[in-house]
Structure 1
Amino acid sequence: MEFDLPAEHRMVRDQVREFCEAEIAPIAQDVEDDHRFPAEIFDQLADLDMLGVPVSEEYGGLGGDQLMYALVTEELGRVSGGIGLSYAAHVSLGSKPIELFGTDEQKETWLRPLAEGDGMGAWALTEPGSGSDASNMETTAERDGDEWVINGTKQFITNASVANSVLVKAVTDPEAGYDGISTFIVDPDDDGFEVTTVWDKMGLNCSPTCEIQFDDVRVPESRLLGEEGDGWTQTMKTLDGGRVSIAALSTGLAQGAFEAAREYAGDREQFGQPISKFDAIRDKLVDMHRKTERARLLTHRAAAKYDAGNSVTRESALAKLDASEAAREVAEDAVQVLGGYGYTTDFAPQRFYRDAKLMEIGEGTSEIQHVVIGRELGL
């Protein structure tokens, strides 16, 4: 088993780390406080060819693999959970399904702009009443000649207010259960598409989370992604990769929180010595490091198996479950290490703490990950 990253992967990781420290870290708290999507950061990421890391070069991507993409996502999360979240939603949910399931024409028309950084992508699955029962959806798409007419509401959709395309799940055959769900490429400029709410959240406020309303939105037949009825199978495959990205983002949050706590503990003196020399703080930092390294190993294993073409349902769920809980635990400990300063917005741990909580909710709650893993284990 090889634990060292390939040279190309290290080069990309280091390039993104340098960019994050120079361009994102100085504004990370400001964009969060202002609830502002930092479009300029994504323009710069596009200049670095990072908005299509795992997308084929044929369609404007970098041609990297899932492991490389996980490394980039981790580095973004290390400085800004919100930017990392919008990035992951753009790549895993808004872009990659078009490459996996789309026609050549769809890839050229819709994927290329996303991979090249000329637009942002989004993915609309969750509804106000569905929650973890994501297949229980009321959004419908009815055929009318050579068009589909979409009606319904989607909830908690990352990037919807800044997206250039949205992949929408809708029921096309109410009698067919899972086989009656299809996926459509919707342009936010389509008549009847409306972002009705941009939510204020506990964290991640530089990443817009939206409610979308579809009121007789008409899309041509050419916007059906894959075959009619393929939507739920596509969703399961998409989430396998998406959970790896959330695990990577969670690992980045944990790493950022750990580094902030370690630096503070080395500088802060009490009773004549750095607090890192006291057993209580040292042991806490060691546990934070252990949890972060464990999350990273599980994430890299899932990414490597994905790249090898293996089924990763269990591995991605396990990585997502462990890394998301590690992120929250490490960030909470980082706040504790900083004491009163950790509770102020002058220091990063409070932001990591608030951002980390969503990692245990989005793309399948921790409870759902237990269900997935249990099913994979035959339990």
Structure 2
Amino acid sequence: MTCVFVCLCLSGLAACVPIPAEDPNLAVAQATVETEEENALPPGIVPLEQGGGEGRAPETEEVEAAPDENVEPAILTVKRPRANIRSGPNIDFQVVSRAVEGDTFTTTGRTDGGWWRICCIDGEDDTEVEAPQTAWISQIVVTPDENAETLPPLIPLFPEDLAASWNVQYECGSRRCAVNECAAVSRTEIHSNRDLRWLEINRIVTWEEACGEDSTWPHQIDRLEGTERYPNSTGLFFFNYWLGPRPGIANALFHLDTGEEIEVWCSDEQEAEVAEESGWTTVYIGLTCHDVRTGMLVSMQYTKRWFFTGEFEGDRYDRAYFGDFEIYKVKLDQTNALLAIVNARAAE
């Protein structure tokens, strides 16, 4: 018998895919084994109804997590015969559409440099790239209404020297795994900050005592929007580290080791599948939790299992599960990003 190695997990840690034993009737278990932590909350997470939240302002959830639907929209009216709409707040950004005098747009704010963020536009037919959902127009060519004038200035969600680190815990529930437990640190490192729109960073994963394979994952984050340039490009939920502001209504608190509480949105149970060779399917099931101000990942936990479909020694299997699994837990350790801290006043 041989082992098949896969490295599709967040860490790059190679795990030996289980194969049918010589006596499948002794090995097959369609239910998960007792040691698996099914539907467990990610580390550091407490549901809001259990979190207490001492020092938390009662209105914090509404303000930070979801915009007030009753607020009148802020409107810009084009005052020039022709106006360019760009992909970013600078004339060096690509023109993605054009407007004419009298056109109106909803805006969510203006930068200190005099560029209004507008929503939403359709790109021109001759543009090579798909127009972003939001775009930018200069204050020189529009007239803001009263609501627009009262909007707070837009500032980048993340600092130029964005730094963050997460602790990673790995657990193995298979006799075929090289180690039963392993720990790593995943940290950011600025790759380049020369691009006007995208902050380029690397997320570097380093395993303790070489118990796993170190890896580097590139990310590009919109400086103002806080979203990734290529969201969900892998189709695997555990690679989504930056969702942008207000990813959902706050439903939990995340406890930092420093004692601070962060208001977060935790997803429902997510699932992803990857078809492997020789009839195997890798299934990932887990939860992710993101800060409601920035959308940055603060905690997640997921379980990885293998299912076999095919024939082995004359027997037919249909998504048979042999009890082998891995568990990954990721928890924010520290960052210089401003998060939705809910007990800051109580700590003063």
Name the TM tier (shorter chain).
under 0.3
The structure with the largest alpha-carbon Rg is: 2
State the TM-score, normalized to the length of structure 1.
Answer: 0.21
TM-score (norm 2): 0.22
More helix by share: 1
